[in-house]
Structure 1
Amino acid sequence: MRIGVDPDVCEAHGQCSVVDLDLFPLDDDGYSAVGPDREVPPGEEEAARIGVDACPVRALRVLLG
């Protein structure tokens, strides 16, 4: 499973990092530092889905394939 963030949509709400700061790191300004394509470690898939769903502006996504 992979996740990604659209930096043009992210508004630095930080709700993803509340779910799991290691999986959803923030930069120094509070914006998502996930990047466009990040591998989710085995066993962290549920936390990844919850973190993606926590974004109020839908800047995060689960990547297919």
Structure 2
Amino acid sequence: MKISVDTNLCEAHGDCVIAAPELFDLGEEDEVVRVLDAEPAEALRAKVDMAVRLCPVAAIRVEG
């Protein structure tokens, strides 16, 4: 799978960071979510799916 975040949509709510801190980080200086591992192991699929569901602005995309 491949994860991306649309930074134009992201409003830095941080729900993805709470759901999957090993995959997402919230920048302190610009408050934009960053993907730490764009191609995580399949074992993290449940956390990725949770992050996608929790994003209130649907800024997270998953391919594969």
TM-score by length of 2: 0.83
SS state at 1:33 partner: strand
Structure 2 unaligned segments of length 5 or more: list them: none
Cα-Cα RMSD: 1.8
3-state secondary structure, aligned to 2:62: strand
Counterpart secondary structure, 1:51: helix
The aligned length equals: 63
Q: Structure 1 vs Structure 2: percent identity of aligned residues? A: 38
Amino acid of the structure 1 residue aligned with 2:39: E
Indicate the structure with greater helix content: 2
SS in 1 for 2:48: helix
Q: Which moved more, 1:23-32 or 1:55-64?
A: 23-32
Q: How does 1:1-65 map to 2 (within 5 A)?
A: 1-28=1-28, 29-34=30-35, 38-64=38-64
Counterpart CA distance in 1 for 2:62 and 2:42 is 15
TM-score, normalization: structure 1?
A: 0.82
Any stretches of 5+ residues in structure 1 without a counterpart?
none
